[in-house]
Amino acid sequence: MKFAILVNEGPYTHQASDSAYQFAKAALAKGHELFRVFFYHDGVNNASRLTVPPQDDRHIVNRWSALAQEHGIDLVVCIAAAQRRGMLDENEMKRQGKDANNIAPGFRISGLGQLVEAGIQADRLVTFGD
């Protein structure tokens, strides 16, 4: 089965990101395909390369980055939600005239069309968070 995942909550404010990550790992381990993970609303904060959790805590951003690298998963961050929360990749940094970017490796910024495409291409779109 081909899955797509929608994450609507931040990495340390709600269990949605942890649950989505565990679901993704379990689905891949069972031989399913993961078409895309789309981060929306506060879920875009899962893509911040500036996240620095305590050493004895899980590093959710790094987990997503590693999973994407290992399995070739498309991690997409909603551009409108990201900009509202100060999340910029290098292209948006330049376009907006800013002096820094903060998107973690493996993530990319794009529009809601990527969520629509994920819903069309996948057999199931699983949502985590409100």
The count of C-alpha atoms lying within 13 angstroms of the C-alpha of 82, restricted to the half-sphere facing its C-beta, is: 27
Residue partners of 116: CB distance under 8 A and separation at least 6: none
d(C-alpha 61, C-alpha 68), whole Å:
11
d(C-alpha 18, C-alpha 11), whole Å:
7
Handedness of CA 66, 16, 45, 50 (dihedral sign): negative
Active site residues: 78
